[in-house]
Amino acid sequence: MRGPPPRHPDDQREELPAVEGIIADAAEMSPGDRVVYPNQGVCAVVGVEEKDIAGQKLVLVRMRREEDGATVMVPKNKVPSVGLRRVASGEQMEGVFHYLAAQFDDPELDWKVRHRDNADRLIAGGVLGVAEVVKGLHSLSRLRPLPTKEREQYDNARHLLVHEVAVSLGVPPGLAEDYVDFALMPPAGVKFDLKPPPKPVLLPSRPKKRRPVAEEGEADDLGLGELGIDLGEIDAAIAGAAGVPGVEGVEAVAGDGAEPEAEGVEGEKAEEAEAEAPDADEDLPAALPRREKPARAAKPEKAPRKAPAEKPAREPKKAEKPARPEKPARKPAPAKKPAPARKAAPAAKKAAAKPAAKRGGKKK
Amino acid sequence: MIRIVTLDAIDPGDMAFLTATLYRAFGLGTEFAGEKHAPREAETKDGRLDAVKLLKEADPVRTFADDKVLYLTAAPLALQPGPLGEPPCWGFADYGKERAVVSTARFPARGVTETSIENWRRRLARETSHAIGHLWDLHHCYDAKCAMHPSWSQSLPANPEMDLCSFCREKSERKIRLAKT
């Protein structure tokens, strides 16, 4: 069996089926019901109450977490959006066990994608999503030890799964954990008669993070012109020396970063890849003409624009700067100081006396 | 405090080894709290003891807050079958609560040689550490060298380690530090 499928593309987002047992309306809940709060575990509904918070009257659903008795309160109108769901049924739970016992040979190797997907599955994937996280990380742990963050995620997911199994099957959590691990790590010689496992959870895609698009003028204006650097000349020199257009170099960097090899370096590279790859792909056509533009041609246009913005900023600096000339004035001061002046105010001018002493030392 | 109650006779040397190991593993005082009889209600038709019922029906031991009670028995334990069948039972613990039971029925023979006795004691120490770990909210661990690795796992060596891995050790220490007493 292959691992969980990749996320859906944006166009299919609205076609995703809702997770089974999800509570779409607070009216479906009544006191005494057992529900599962994503990432928190099984809670018992206590009731609905009205509270005055920050001058607003809110209708809240009060729940008690069964594990430790902690109180969880959710605004009634937010019940559909927080992902509350009913405790998995026996049939669902059977599917989960058949999924856990099935072969799994394809863990996601990009830790960043994996971690994000797992976090989403824990929140929006229902009991099968939690089982997917446990199984995915467990199978990965057979290849290599999990990093700390994922080890914690694995432990949390296992905790949630064990408690939901316990509540659903009506057994103590210790026994539920044995059931889970009996499926995950069967003893030697044990073979299960497995049914086809349920379909993996489909997650909605996250919106891509895009950098704010800078205005053309801002992007060009790096202040290189003021430093006397001409990008056009440099590009021409590089192209002449290497015989390779600059744009290909950009592509090569993005390509390297997109396929990280080692776990340690993976993070940085993946971040770069995520940040750079879309830019490289999307902004490339725009970047090319920008580079070809001679920097000098843009300079005269920007100069008047920049001037009003910079001047007020610089003026106060100029006003501050005159303070500096005072420093050199200090240096001659100790030299000028006559000996009787030290006697008149010895305590106040101790600091001034020190340089004089140093100077004497240097001379010696 | 960890209080050990035996449901069958046990060698004093084994008990001394066990108390010392549990003290090292959890940093908690460990003592032998006497011998009791296994409750009849826990007996099953096939001569085993139902682990869940045993913990419910076992004679109580005087305890204080956060004390853990460990029952040791030589009788084989039974568990209620799950969706995929009955998992093999080396011990059972009330997760995060007070009581646990460990059976020596599945251990390799104790033998009479020093090596076999040493191996038997180490296995006993491992299974008890595993059960006490569950009482301190530890889940099963994927690391085969950790005492919290499932006892029936195929990746478990013949003479498994009796220590916790660093993650489980830190977690148990954190739980113990946050305990009421």
The mean pLDDT values, 10 residues at a time, for chain B of 181 residues are 92 93 91 89 90 90 87 93 92 92 92 92 94 94 93 86 92 88 68
Which CATH number does the domain B2-177 belong to among 3.90.1300.10, 3.40.1350.10, 3.10.20.600, 3.40.390.10? 3.40.390.10
User: B-chain residues within 8 Å CB-CB of A175?
Assistant: 52, 79-80, 82, 92
User: Which pLDDT does position A347 carry in this prediction?
Assistant: 44
ipTM of the prediction? 0.94
Q: Burial letters for B138-163: b for 16+ Cβ neighbours within 10 Å, e otherwise?
A: bbbbbbbebbbbbbbbeebeeebbbb
Question: Which span out of A247-251, A311-315, B99-103, B151-155 was modeled with the highest average pLDDT?
Answer: B99-103
| Tokens 């009796």, located at residue | B162
Tokens of A102: 């099935």
pLDDT at A107 exceeding the cut of 80: no
Rounded Cα distance, A162 and A180, in Å = 7
User: B-chain residues within 8 Å CB-CB of A146?
Assistant: 142
Provide the sign of the torsion angle of the four alpha carbons B109, B112, B113, B114, taken in this order. positive
Across the strands, what pairs with A43?
Answer: A35, A65
Phi then psi for residue A44, to 5 deg, are -105, 130
User: Taking the CA atoms of chain B, what radius of gyration do you get in angstroms?
Assistant: 15
User: Which pLDDT does position A363 carry in this prediction?
Assistant: 45
Rounded Cα distance, B45 and B61, in Å = 27
- The closest CB to that of A192, out of B84, B94, B171, belongs to B84
User: Which pLDDT does position A90 carry in this prediction?
Assistant: 86
Q: For chain A, say whether B83 makes contact (Cβ under 8 Å).
A: yes
A46 or A224: whose pLDDT is higher? A46
Tokens of B27: 């940093």
Q: Is A97's CB within 8 Å of B82's CB?
A: yes
User: Which pLDDT does position A261 carry in this prediction?
Assistant: 39
pLDDT at A189 exceeding the cut of 60: yes
Cα A168–chain centre separation: 34
Confidence class for position A22, pLDDT limits 50, 70, 90: confident
Rounded Cα distance, B12 and B14, in Å = 5
Q: Where are the domains of chain A?
A: 10-16+87-184, 26-83, 222-300
Rounded Cα distance, B43 and A94, in Å = 29
How confident is the prediction for chain A on average, in pLDDT? 68
Across the strands, what pairs with B6?
Answer: B35, B72
pLDDT digits (tens, 9 = 90+) for A73-103: 999 988 888 889 999 988 889 999 999 998 8
Assigned CATH for A10-16+87-184: 1.20.58.1290
Q: Taking the complete model, does pTM exceed 0.90, yes or no?
A: no
Rounded Cα distance, A306 and A221, in Å = 10
What is the pLDDT averaged over residues A191-205?
75
pLDDT digits (tens, 9 = 90+) for A282-307: 443 333 344 444 444 444 444 444 44
Tokens of B10: 């046990």
Confidence class for position A318, pLDDT limits 50, 70, 90: very low
Three-state DSSP at A58 gives strand
- Chain B residue at shortest CA distance from A182: B87
Give me the amino acid identity at A187: P
User: Which pLDDT does position B89 carry in this prediction?
Assistant: 92
Rounded Cα distance, B152 and B160, in Å = 11
Q: For chain A, say whether B14 makes contact (Cβ under 8 Å).
A: no
Q: Is A177's CB within 8 Å of B155's CB?
A: no
User: Which pLDDT does position A343 carry in this prediction?
Assistant: 45
User: B148 to chain A, minimum CA–CA distance in Å?
Assistant: 12
Rounded Cα distance, B78 and B105, in Å = 11
Residue from A134, A181, A191 whose CB has the most chain B CBs within 10 Å, to mutate = A181
- Helix extents (H) in chain A: 79-82, 90-101, 111-124, 126-143, 148-169, 173-184, 216-220, 224-227, 231-242, 246-258, 263-292, 295-320, 326-330, 332-336, 339-344, 350-363
Q: Where are the domains of chain B?
A: 2-177
Assigned CATH for A26-83: 2.40.10.170
| Tokens 């006003």, located at residue | A319
A8 within 8 A of A204, measured Cβ to Cβ: yes
A177 within 8 A of A141, measured Cβ to Cβ: no
Rounded Cα distance, A52 and A294, in Å = 63
